[in-house]
Amino acid sequence: MAVVEVTAFTLSGDEQAFRAVDARMQTDFAYQQPGLLRRTTARGDDGQWLVLTLWSDEASADACARNALDDPVARDFASYAAPNSTRTKRFTLLE
């Protein structure tokens, strides 16, 4: 079953530099992961950031999380989140 993953965080660092890293994360890492259907990044008026990712199944989301631990682009992306600010939650789509 398809899974929606929501990751919210507070940005730490320069927004312009982050947006460049986010673009690399999108093309060089995220869309290279099997099972990824859609990914988008958004900024809230309160300074919070959100990454919304749609996966074909939970196993694909789990595999991506493991792959991100060793990927330099994914680690660079993660370094822009303020310490202890990242929260991730998954939801299963209704059929």
Q: Which domains does the chain have, with CATH numbers?
A: 3-92 (3.30.70.100)
CA distances from 79 to 14, 16, 35, 83, 94 (A): 12, 14, 24, 9, 33
Share of the chain above pLDDT 70, in %: 100
Q: Is the pLDDT of residue 57 over 90?
A: yes
pLDDT (0 to 100) of residue 49? 98
Q: What is the pTM of this model?
A: 0.93
Mean pLDDT of the chain: 97
**Where residue 13 falls among pLDDT bands split at 50, 70, 90?**
confident
Could you say which DSSP state residue 52 is in?
Answer: E
